[in-house]
Structure 1
Amino acid sequence: MNFVRITYTGRKLYRDRATGHVWQPQEERLVSEVIAKPLLKFVEFKRTADLKPAEAQEPGQEQGAAQAIQQTSELSEQEIAALEQQALDDKAKEVDDQREAMLITVLGMNKTALAEYAQKYDHTFDTKAKVDDMRITVNGLIHQFGVR
């Protein structure tokens, strides 16, 4: 996954609905290219490299050290972004595991248990409904609303 450093040059807070990020004026962040692409369509967002004037390259240890520190900080931010993405992936996997476990449990439920579980979703069954139809409905509720 490639990352891009972008800066928000707007004057007010900006809340990105897609990602949930809140941008402060003149805030600079390292984001993935997938997130950066739609943001860069706005005038207020610029690539940070485009904002900073090109500095003359002077030979010396100070500049080399500054570049090394900057590269180290970028790597650490990339690692942080990767860890955040890993945490999101782990949470999604946990939700999927819970859903799968509940779907397996639903296979073993009888008519009464299915009716009680469906009440968690504010759904009631007709007393004459077939068990297989009830299982299909409960599976649909689990897929639509998650495990309750």
Structure 2
Amino acid sequence: MSLFPNDHLVQRFARCYMKHGRFGKALAIIDSAFQILKTNHEVQEPVRFFYEAVQNAKPLVETKPLNIGSKRVPQPRAVGPKRQEGLALRFIARAVYDKRRVGRKNSDHKLAAELVALHKKEGAARKMRDDKHKLAEANRAYVR
């Protein structure tokens, strides 16, 4: 049972993070990561810490394909707030899954480590965000 059942962002992340419909297991991993943040990293409010980490992973621009003649070129566009949040949650989930394939630590430890790295504006999810920004910057000529 989740310690934060009414928090919409934690619920949304659990839905992004779960595999094969195991929502309870995803919530258990998130709760365990929050406990690790409290004990090992001296975080008083892990939900606020999570919100700040998500804020640091939100992309501001992305590229959409645009047909110019017979070519498809990526066109940079601003991202809306809901899509920013969704992309940030997916970046975090993907970063944790990629870390999970390497090493011996459990998913909860890797999620806590990724949240700490995001809080410092580092980590794999932040790199995904920065890569989106670089791609949009490189294709600035196609803005209409």
Q: Same fold (TM over 0.5)?
A: no
Q: TM-score, normalised by structure 1?
A: 0.22
More helix by percentage: 2
Give 1 or 2 for the bigger CA radius of gyration.
1
